[in-house]
Amino acid sequence: MLFILLLCAAAPGTAAAKARTLVASSAADGPRSLSLVVYNQDLALVREVRTVPRKEGLFELRFQDVARELVPNSVLVDTGEELKVLEQCYTYDLLSAGSLLEHFIGKTVILERLDKRTNTPEQVEGTLLSLEGGRIVRIGDRIEVDPEGRFILPEVPANLTDRPTLTWLVQGRSAGQSKVEVSYLTGGMGWRCDYVLSLAGDSDAGLSAWVTLDNRSGLDYPDCELTLVAGEISRVRQERPMVELMAVRAAGMSKAADEPRPEGFLREQLQDYYRYTLGRHIDIDNKQSKQVELFGLDRVKVERRYSLAGGRDFFYGRVAEPSRDLKVAMYLDWINGGGNYPGMPLPAGLVRIYRREPDGAMFFLGEDRIGHVPQEEKVSIRAGTAFDLTAERRQTEFTKLSDRLRQATVEITLTNRKKQDVAVEVEENLPGDWTMLEHSHEYLTIDAGRIRFSPRVRAGGKTTVKYTIKFM
């Protein structure tokens, strides 16, 4: 039977609680099948199949070794026809010295310490009153704060466990073994993509991508199937909707065991997202960051592009001083298609750029972030600032034509100290409702407030872009 379970707790003394006379446990040290779907939003979907002991009648089944960051109301369990789950509790109050003592506040405890008169061990009874700011114990008619000695406690409370556990009140039709499939969401698990773009010339480069998995969920995942989902899924801040869990499960978390798969990642579309399934099993330990290669391309055709960003400083009044030493940014562009296509859309991530010189020397040129890039879309990376390209912007005219109407003339001078000609994109941010009156170079209107000139600057020379606009 398939159940979507919410967190519940039966109060002591209820009929259900009294009926729990039989207990069965299942730990992760036995045979099991484990699958992970990891999102890049600090979220993962865990699917586990185990064979658990089954008793006849009403009994408590403890499903141990689940993620510490498990979202309790996201649990989906399929117990088959022989078991029926009536209640579920998630036990995350783990056994420790502090949690154990908390359960004995107001109760009788035994304190073992050294009798200084006889220099022999003695045991005294007392009542643990508080743990706030220290251990406060009533011994006889005295109140002692942080008394010497060690506590001896009669038992470990039933609601304390040494590992996170799902506890179910289960109705079994007969005794034996049952296969149980459990799926749940957990926090503390995410992934990111890191790219290396290695330039071998002006237009040739190698591109490799590595997935970095970060596991802080409180659980090891040995020999598991791994699927990564790229895309921004909808999340509700206070409660995790079961819609996303059911959608992923319906789409299938893993392929059939007898279907051959590549050793690397296989890309597939999942509704409006993309998933990348690793073609082999993997071990992901708790508190571990692990890198796995996503793809590698030996040859990617890139284009170098130079761009000067614009501003609106010259359109609010007269400006006497020019803006000097403006930075000309260098970009590397390519289309995620054709020979540049690695067989999958590019997940968002950080791109680090290196260049190998003919003598074998390697240099780091810069880094930039990209968003999710579909197939046939342009990738644009800001590699840094061009050293041999400088720019100056100045206002040569500003006239107030009326209370609302203005006219301004702007000049941008580009200087090229390189040994080859280059084209520089000059983007200008224009104010309000503008009209172009004069321009020295052709331009492209990007949107209502931006235009772009693309002048070519000769090696060792200068080029001046000039335009006059009227605006309100």
Sequence-separated contacts (24+) of 296-299 with Cβ below 8 Å:
296/206, 296/207, 296/208, 296/209, 296/342, 297/206, 297/207, 297/208, 297/340, 297/342, 298/206, 299/204, 299/205, 299/206, 299/339
Judge contact between 470 and 404, C-beta under 8 A.
no
Residue 143 pairs in a beta bridge with 138
Other beta carbons within 10 angstroms of residue 351's beta carbon come to 22
Higher pLDDT, 275 or 30: 275
Name the pLDDT band for 451 (thresholds 50, 70, 90): very high
Judge contact between 348 and 357, C-beta under 8 A.
no
Using a pLDDT cut of 70, give the percent of the chain over it: 86
What's the token pair of residue 341? Answer: 């296509």
Give yes or no for residue 116 having a pLDDT over 60: yes
Name the pLDDT band for 95 (thresholds 50, 70, 90): low
Under 8 Å CB-to-CB from 325, ≥6 apart: which residues?
390, 392
Nearest to 276 by CA among 262, 291, 266, 261: 266
* CATH numbers and ranges of domains, the chain: 2-94+160-186 (2.60.40), 97-152 (no CATH), 303-328+386-472 (2.60.40.1180)
- Report the pLDDT value the prediction gives residue 254, as an integer from 0 to 100: 39
Tell me if residue 452 falls in helix, strand or coil.
Answer: strand
CA dihedral 148, 152, 156, 157 (to 10 degrees): -70
Name the pLDDT band for 237 (thresholds 50, 70, 90): low
Q: Give the pLDDT mean for 39-44.
A: 89
Name the pLDDT band for 49 (thresholds 50, 70, 90): very high
Name the pLDDT band for 467 (thresholds 50, 70, 90): very high
Dump pLDDT digits (tens) for 261-301. 456 676 666 556 778 899 899 999 999 999 999 999 988 99
- Report the pLDDT value the prediction gives residue 162, as an integer from 0 to 100: 63
- Report the pLDDT value the prediction gives residue 115, as an integer from 0 to 100: 85
What's the token pair of residue 342? Answer: 């690695």
What's the token pair of residue 82? Answer: 């022989």
- Report the pLDDT value the prediction gives residue 176, as an integer from 0 to 100: 93
Please state, in angstroms and rounded to a whole number, the distance separating the CA atoms of residues 454 and 102: 72
- Report the pLDDT value the prediction gives residue 181, as an integer from 0 to 100: 95
| Mean pLDDT over each residue of the chain, to the nearest integer | 85
Dump pLDDT digits (tens) for 60-93. 998 988 998 998 889 999 998 999 999 988 866 5
Please state, in angstroms and rounded to a whole number, the distance separating the CA atoms of residues 207 and 226: 23
Q: Give the pLDDT mean for 201-211.
A: 90
Name the pLDDT band for 443 (thresholds 50, 70, 90): very high
The DSSP result for 250-296, as a single string, is HH-SS--TTS---SSEEEEEETTEEEEEESS-EEE-TTEEEEEEEEE
| Main-chain dihedrals φ then ψ at residue 251, nearest 5 degrees | -75, -15
Other beta carbons within 10 angstroms of residue 190's beta carbon come to 19
Alpha-carbon distances of 395 from 312, 407, 469, rounded to whole Å? 11, 11, 12
Judge contact between 89 and 8, C-beta under 8 A.
yes
Please state, in angstroms and rounded to a whole number, the distance separating the CA atoms of residues 433 and 290: 54
| Main-chain dihedrals φ then ψ at residue 243, nearest 5 degrees | -60, -45
Continuous segment of H or E residues that includes residue 428: strand 422-429
| Range with the poorest average pLDDT among 223-232, 265-274, 414-423 | 265-274
Please state, in angstroms and rounded to a whole number, the distance separating the CA atoms of residues 5 and 125: 44
Please state, in angstroms and rounded to a whole number, the distance separating the CA atoms of residues 132 and 239: 32
Give yes or no for residue 386 having a pLDDT over 90: yes
Name the pLDDT band for 256 (thresholds 50, 70, 90): very low
- Report the pLDDT value the prediction gives residue 343, as an integer from 0 to 100: 82
Judge contact between 322 and 314, C-beta under 8 A.
no
Cβ-based burial of 155 (10 A; exposed 0-12, middle 13-18, buried ≥19): exposed
Using a pLDDT cut of 90, give the percent of the chain over it: 57
- Report the pLDDT value the prediction gives residue 255, as an integer from 0 to 100: 39
Give yes or no for residue 4 having a pLDDT over 70: no
Q: Which amino acid is at 89?
A: C
The DSSP result for 360-420, as a single string, is S-EEEEEEEEE--B-TT-EEEEEEEE-TTEEEEEEEEEEEE-SSS-EEEEEEEEEEE-SSS
Other beta carbons within 10 angstroms of residue 328's beta carbon come to 23
Q: Give the pLDDT mean for 16-32.
A: 68
- Report the pLDDT value the prediction gives residue 153, as an integer from 0 to 100: 86
- Report the pLDDT value the prediction gives residue 203, as an integer from 0 to 100: 86
- Report the pLDDT value the prediction gives residue 212, as an integer from 0 to 100: 94
Judge contact between 35 and 224, C-beta under 8 A.
yes
Under 8 Å CB-to-CB from 132, ≥6 apart: which residues?
none
The structure's pTM equals 0.69
- Report the pLDDT value the prediction gives residue 270, as an integer from 0 to 100: 58
Q: Give the pLDDT mean for 324-348.
A: 91
- Report the pLDDT value the prediction gives residue 11, as an integer from 0 to 100: 36
Under 8 Å CB-to-CB from 470, ≥6 apart: which residues?
401, 405, 406, 407, 434, 435, 437
What's the token pair of residue 447? Answer: 């949107």
Please state, in angstroms and rounded to a whole number, the distance separating the CA atoms of residues 173 and 171: 7
